[in-house]
Amino acid sequence: MSESVPTVNVTPAAGRVLVGQSGGPTAAINASLAGVAWAARQAGVRALGMRNGIQGFMEGRTVDLDAALPDEASLDLLARTPSSWLGSCRYKLPDPAADPQTYERLFARLAEEGVSCVLYIGGNDSMDTIAKLGAYGRSVDSPIRFVGVPKTIDNDLEGTDHTPGYGSAARLVATSVRELARDADVYDLKSVTFVEIMGRDAGWLAASSALADPDLVLLPEVPLDADALVERLRALLAERNSVMVGVSEGVRDASGTLYCEMAGPGSATDEFGHLATLSGTGRYLAALVKKCLGCKTRAVELSTLQRCASHVASACDLREASELGQAGVRAALAGESVVMCGLERLCDEPYEVRARLFDVEAVANRVKGVPRAWISEDGMGVTEELLAYVRPLVGELPAMLDPLA
């Protein structure tokens, strides 16, 4: 991967690099952390980790990464370890103008630890943290640099072509849907299987199920007409015994109502106003189809298995996650601030990307959905353009013998 990120030679006097992890864990977030620690070490700068993100740092909880990860072997093992090794949080910083006291305490902590650069690995809400820290820092002429490193299985960050964590989660989804299809096709009877896949507002992860060639893929970007779905399934069942449907947990009807909310009481919200859990879309649709068509139905929720499935991690995903962590350190040490170090795609085949910087304020709290042009006209599938986008991020799936006719 090439870079359009500035580099600079620094000395140990440059101060400490502070790094934290935030939001949901992934199979690749620790690869970014390992990249940060490695790049800081190469630059002769000591690295400090936040325990449980910015919230833990404000409470005085840190770890010396040079002591905890003393050699190449420990960094390599960290890069292949799933979940957030430092721990995470979902803590929303207040607006700097409304609560400057919080920032005064926080910046005093940064000074106490001798921090010159802060890197925060996370998604939309984590970029909000970087944007607010950077805005306050500028208002008080702080020399500390703040850089975001992207991470989310949802793949919904603006600017960057894709996000570390997505490729591995998409590989788990595609592998699981393909294997579930074989399971469902064992018996000589009519059945519909709904595989519920994460994705609150963006259908990137559910779209990756198309690599397994399911019959239908339902995304939140297009309102779902339940009656049209039933009729489409009726026609498919007239042609075959088993029908597979990949469905995003965030699918809504034309009024904007989530199907998962139709399945039962709504979930509580987190500090950023998001529903803490979305669950039930597959169950609701399975019950509806069974009632209308009388066939066997099943709802399978992949749930949190999608986040940290290191046993099917994408090699491309782990590599790019590490490289973005490294590029983020180099950018911060070169004086860049209030930016996110993301990816720009240069070519689908052969696959080529480069690291580049994005204005973090143009990323924070925004959602990048699947382009409508990459969704089929009827809203129940995806196009070849979407598949060409996803394939290199996932890698080749394990070979299988074609089923009998």
Q: How far apart are the first and last CA of the chain?
A: 43
What lies within 8 Å, CB to CB, of 30 at 6+ separation is 78, 79, 80, 81, 82, 83, 84, 85
359 noted as active-site residue: no
Query: Look-up: residue for tokens 């169950």?
Result: 283
CA distance 19 to 121: 8
What type of residue is 235?
A
Coil, strand or helix: which one is 124? helix
DSSP code of residue 49: E
Buried b (16+ CB within 10 A) or exposed e, 296-323: bbbbbbbeeebbbbbebbbebbbbbbbb
Q: Which residue in this structure is represented by tokens 């066939």?
A: 295
Name the amino acid, one letter, at 19.
Answer: V
Residues with Cβ within 8 Å of 230's Cβ and at least 6 positions away in sequence, in order, are 288, 289, 292, 293
Q: Which of 125, 128, 154, 156 is catalytic?
A: 154
**Contact call for residues 171 and 392 (beta carbons, < 8 A):** no
Q: What is the DSSP letter of 147?
A: E
Radius of gyration of the chain (CA): 22
Active-site residue set? 154
